[in-house]
Amino acid sequence: MVSGGTVNSDCSSLQSYLTSFTNEISGLSGSWQGASYDNLSAKAQEFASEYGSAIKGQMGSFASACDLYVEYENCKQSIASAESSYNSAVSSNDSSNVTRWGNEVASLKQKLSNLKTQIEGLLSSASGVHLEASSNSALSNVSANLAGLGTPTYGTFTEKSFKDPETGLTMPYYLYYPNYDGKQVDGLPVMMYMHGGSNNNSASALLARGLSKSLREKTVNPSGIVIVPFIHSFSDKRTLPTLKHLYDNVVEEYHADKSRLSVSGHSSGGIMTYKLINAYPNYFAAAIPISGFTQVTDAFKYTRVWAFNGELDTGGSTSNAGAKKAVEQINAIGGNATLHTYARAGHAYVQDYTYEGKEYESPDGESITPLEWAYKQKLVTFNT
């Protein structure tokens, strides 16, 4: 499977993905316990038909990720060598080699970043089995939560801070973790919820509106993790990559399910939702942009979108007409997007309406809260 070298300790994440994969298969088989032989046989046939090609593709992605890890390790060694040459040139005042090796270091670091993105996409592809909606009742009735954890009691917010080693930007944030008998549970879904532009004057304002408010007031009881970042500046070029690196950090720390990551936000946060999907295709399984949109790229082929907007919102990048057009563009390129419009609603309170705990008819035709819908989505189509 692995060629050109040996994958070292960085490969531990590969092992965790394979473990997640096998655990999910075990969860499916466990959900069939107690069935008669005839029913179990039929379910096994349905499983083979439904998942045969998916499993083959996942293992292929896993193998490709291993190969890329070899290249990733070699690239890190090349960077160390180039940095040593650069430092020597600086010490000897060799201006031509300072330029040469400086450019080489920058080029290799960009290559390393690209490899990291490719590996993350392949690992997400290898991390789980997706239950497609189908007419097979034996499969469609299997719960999306294969761990059998049940409903958690209300969790708590923890105030934290993340300093991005790549961008240098420090980003305070709140982390909500559901209470499963006081234990850390591996494989939980994650959502990042981003405030609007008028909420960036203090960290305390993060919990005042939208999903943050509902979590604080315990009007919703999510089954997964929620990240609420404090965005100092939506225009700072460091903000977008820092949000992604913060997300990566939380996912790794809490051993979350990398195939069930979602993003949402209101106003400027809704616009940032679009930007994150465009910048990091194959990363988010679901998105819930609220009163905010921007350009649509092919990245939206791989992320399901359930947008919410006020009918009376006429802002330039927040209007209901613009949100409708963006959804149409996503569907036109082969994506899957739906818009829910609040009649006689404007801009400010749409985030509260969306996350107040009310169930809506989802794009899949079931009655569910938007947050729980997002947690159920799995990233299964990849641009590899």
User: Mean pLDDT for the chain?
Assistant: 80
Q: Which of 2, 166, 5, 120 is nearest to 74 (CA)?
A: 5
Q: Among 30-39, 147-156, 247-256, name the most confident range.
A: 247-256
**For residue 147, what pLDDT is reported?**
42
Q: Which of 337, 354, 68, 316 is nearest to 211 (CA)?
A: 354
Secondary structure class of 330 (helix, strand, coil): helix
Answer yes or no: are the C-beta atoms of 64 and 57 closer than 8 Å: no
More confident residue, 312 or 150: 312
Convert the pLDDT of each residue in 130-189 to its tens digit.
Answer: 433 333 332 222 233 334 566 788 888 899 999 999 999 999 999 999 988 888 888 899
**For residue 41, what pLDDT is reported?**
55
Convert the pLDDT of each residue in 41-82 to its tens digit.
Answer: 555 555 555 555 556 666 677 777 777 888 888 888 999 999
**For residue 310, what pLDDT is reported?**
92
| Rounded-to-integer distance, Cα 59 and Cα 18, Å | 9
Considering the segment(s) 153-376 as one domain, its CATH architecture is 3-Layer(aba) Sandwich (3.40)
- How is the chain split into domains, by residue range? 9-131, 153-376
- The type of residue at 256 is A
**For residue 57, what pLDDT is reported?**
62
**For residue 127, what pLDDT is reported?**
55
**For residue 189, what pLDDT is reported?**
94
Region of poorest pLDDT, from 6-10, 41-45, 114-118, 329-333: 6-10
**What DSSP element (H or E) covers 92?**
none
Q: Is the pLDDT of residue 26 over 70?
A: no
**For residue 96, what pLDDT is reported?**
87
Convert the pLDDT of each residue in 210-227 to its tens digit.
Answer: 898 888 888 888 889 999
**For residue 110, what pLDDT is reported?**
86
